[in-house]
Amino acid sequence: MKQVIFAGFLAAALATGSAPALAQTASKPATSLGSVTINHKVMADGQALPTGTYQIRLTSDEPKPAVGQSPESERFVEFVRGGKVVAREVATVMSNADVATIVKGPKPATGGVRVDVLKGNDYVRVWINRGGQNYLIHLPAQA
């Protein structure tokens, strides 16, 4: 009986177009990872992300892991400007120990942020180091 009621509720929510709002209220509040200034033309969430300073928030949403991948290895982050979510992207989550063996170049200090244009100028990497975890966001360069 509960399944029938839930299915009816879900169908009604989809029909009224309120499913995204329903999904947002069901998830945990986002956690601030800090702010970052993007000075390069990049894409995020499939759209151009204007240059400027953004608050980065870690959501509780996780993309479906690939085969053999840890469920906690990726999380969605939000780019917030003026209190409004401008874009969402996937961040790779790595411990300090793991990042030292995989990622080249100097890492940001604990609590710090680093923005790098990667070799070939195809991607901009936003690297946030918070609480023993590293969040790497790879944004494709705008053509």
Residue 27: its pLDDT value, please? 53
Whether 50 is covered by a domain: the verdict is yes
The answer to whether residues 26 and 10 touch, using CB atoms and an 8 Å cutoff, is no
Whether 3 is covered by a domain: the verdict is no
| Pairing of β 42-44 and β 123-130 | unpaired
Whether 8 is covered by a domain: the verdict is no
128 strand-pairing partners: 113, 135
Residue 44 structural domain: 28-140
Secondary structure (3-state) at 59 = coil
How many domains are there within the chain?
A: 1
Whether 122 is covered by a domain: the verdict is yes
- What does the pLDDT look like over 24-59, one tens digit per residue? 434 567 799 999 999 999 999 999 999 999 999 999
- What does the pLDDT look like over 88-132, one tens digit per residue? 999 999 999 999 888 888 889 999 999 999 989 999 999 999 988
103 strand-pairing partners: none
Distance, CA of 9 to CA of 72 (rounded, Å):
30
Whether 120 is covered by a domain: the verdict is yes
Q: Which of 61, 62, 56 is nearest to 33 (CA)?
A: 56
Instruction: Report the pLDDT averaged over residues 62-89.
Output: 88
Whether 43 is covered by a domain: the verdict is yes
Whether 91 is covered by a domain: the verdict is yes
pTM: 0.76
